[in-house]
Amino acid sequence: MRTATLLYHDVVPADQLQTSGFQGAVADRYKLSCDSFDAHLRAIVGRPLLRCETVTRLMSSSSDDGCPCLFTFDDGGVSALTEIAERLEAAGWRGRFFIPTDHIGQPGFLSAEQIRELHQRGHIIGTHSCSHPRRIDQLNDSDLQREWSQSTEILANVLQSPIECGSVPGGFFSRRVAEAASRAGLKVLFNSEPTCRWKKPGSLWIAGRLPIVNHTSASMAAALATGDRHTITQQQLVWNGKKLAKTVAGGLYRQVSEWIFSQK
């Protein structure tokens, strides 16, 4: 199975980066202005898109369905409701919103009531862990399990509906991370590997995503939305380079990133 799954975060009015989601230079890099997001949607309109599907429906669709596009949004910022939902709905689409549950109701983040509203409007809610740990792959077994099991339970209680999907905070995916997510009852785990391909090594589907940052142009977003191989290969090269840097330099990588982005 293949989907061109776009990985967005917040969408905020220009110069109001602090109004939604996590704060800081690295988080800001993933926040789009409303104008940029509108341009992305205009560029993607008319492409062969999949409407918001349940995981079950997606699983049952055949590979002949091509490479449909999915919109995903990480971090649970309040802009999911204040800016994003209405824009997607106006285009006839829905999104998947991944929530770090420890932040529910905090300033700049969705409240339980707002999460319910998104769900009632047809958007899909998934877990993005409890605490959004900096390195989920380095947690001990019990903490790792709590991140998936407790967040899934909290969201299921908020929605009175089972939670089927999650996304890995920071993209720090590993087999252990996936196994814990599977034990929490998730059926699909989205990571940040820039690929359209879905894999099912065990009982859990693993899906890659195509990251969007604040300088991603509308034409590039449209190319990614159609699963354009050349554009995705470019993303893979960058991603592999970053992965290597993170492995080699560890915590230093993040400090250097923070510094570089705060200079811009």
Six-digit token string for 221: 């977003």
What's the closest the beta carbon of residue 109 comes to Zn ion, in angstroms?
A: 12
Cβ pair 49, 93 in contact under 8 A: yes
If the CB atoms of residues 74 and 164 are measured against Zn ion, the closer one turns out to be 74
Residues 6+ apart with CB under 8 A from 202: 178, 179, 182
Q: How far is the CB of 198 from Zn ion (least distance, A)?
A: 20
Nearer to Zn ion by C-beta: 68 or 126? 126
* CB-CB neighbours of 168 under 10 Å: 25
Closest by CA to 20, choosing from 116, 71, 95, 85, is 85
Task: Give min distance, CB of 191 to Zn ion, in A.
Answer: 11
Residue with Cβ nearer Zn ion (74 or 147): 74
State in angstroms the smallest separation of the CB of 46 from Zn ion.
30
Q: Which is nearer to Zn ion, 169 or 208 (CB)?
A: 169
Cβ nearer to Zn ion, comparing 28 with 68: 28
CB of residue 74 to Zn ion, shortest distance in Å = 4
- The nearer residue to Zn ion, 21 or 227, going by C-beta atoms, is 21
Contact residues for Zn ion (CB under 5 A)?
A: 74-75, 169
Amino acid at 93: W
Residue number of the CB closest to Zn ion reads: 74
- φ, ψ for residue 10, nearest 5 deg: -95, 155
User: Token digits for 240?
Assistant: 């592999």
Interatomic CA distance for residues 201 and 49, integer angstroms: 26
**Minimum distance from residue 185 beta carbon to Zn ion (Å):** 21
Say which DSSP state 49 is in.
Answer: P
DSSP 184: T
With CA atoms as reference, report the closest residue to 189 among 204, 171, 201.
204
Nearest-angstrom CA–CA distance, 4 and 15: 30
